[in-house]
Amino acid sequence: MQVEEYLNKIVESEGTVHLTLIDPASQSPDQAAEIAHAAALGGTDAIMIGGSTGAGGMILDQTIRKIEEKTDKPKILFPGNAAGVSIYADAIFFMSLLNSRDINFITTNQAMGAPIVYKSGIEPISMAYLIVEPGGTVGWVGDAKLIPRHKPEIAVAYALAGKYLGMHYTYLEAGSGANAPVTPEMIGAVKHVLGDNKLIIGGGIRDGQTARLCALAGADMIVTGTILEESSNVTAKIQELVSAIKR
C-alpha cells in the first residue's frame, strides 16, 4: 500500500493519525532510531524525518537507514529544502511554503529536488505548508509572512489556494517548540473548507489533552517532535498522545 493511502485509511478507520517527527540534526542516527523504535511501540503511525537546518546529506541518509532497521513504520521526508531528499525514505511531503516571501521555498527547492524524487521512486504526497505565528525557526528560515494566530480567515484563504492548486494535504505549522499549537478556531475553519482533503497540525503539541483538542477541532493528523526529544519515556508519551486522538 502507498503511504498516502495508508495514512488516509487510518483517518477513516481510527480518527486521527499520529506522526513522530525526528530532526536528524538533533541526535545521532542511532539515537534517532531508538526514538523511532520507542514511538512505534507507543503506537505512532509513521515517522517524519526532516528539519529546517542541517538535516540533509549523509546525516539524513544514515538516520533513515538506522530507523529502517528498528521499525516497519513508513518513513516520510519532511524537507527544509532540496537537500532534504533521501532515496532511503518511503515517501516525501512534497510541499510548498505558500506563505513564504521567498520563491526558493515556494517553487525553486521543489524543482531542484523533484528529479531526485522521480529517479528514486519515493512517493510524493503533495502538501500546502502554512506557517502561523509564532513560527519559530522554520518561520525565520522560510521567510514566512506569518499568518496571525487569531486570523483564521487568512489560513482559510491559503488552505483553499492550496486545495485549488491540487495539493492533497494542508499543514498548519506553529513552529517547532511553539508555546501552543494553532487555535481550535483556526483548525475548525480550515478543515471546514478542506472537506475530504487532509489537515495536519504541528508545533507546540506536548500532551494528550492538547492533541485531543486539535483532533476534535478537525485535525486529521497530529505531529509531535520536541516533546519526544525531551521525554525520558518516549513510548509512554506516544501512548498518551495516541490514546487521546484515536477513536
Binding site for ligand 1GP (CB under 6 A): 21, 138, 173, 176-178, 202-205, 223-227
Torsion (CA) 102, 132, 53, 210 in degrees, nearest 10 = -160
Give whichever of 79 and 202 is closer to ligand 1GP, judged by the CB atom.
202
Least CB distance to ligand 1GP at residue 246 (A): 18
Give whichever of 88 and 129 is closer to ligand 1GP, judged by the CB atom.
129
If we measure between CA atoms, which residue out of 175, 244, 240 comes closest to residue 215? 244
Give whichever of 134 and 188 is closer to ligand 1GP, judged by the CB atom.
134
Least CB distance to ligand 1GP at residue 118 (A): 25
Closest CB to ligand 1GP belongs to which residue?
A: 202
Least CB distance to ligand 1GP at residue 171 (A): 8
Least CB distance to ligand 1GP at residue 78 (A): 7
Give whichever of 40 and 182 is closer to ligand 1GP, judged by the CB atom.
182
What's the DSSP call for residue 58? Answer: H
126 sits in which H/E element: strand 123-131
Burial of 150 (0-12, 13-18, 19+ CB in 10 A): exposed
Q: Are 207 and 219 in contact (CB under 8 A)?
A: no
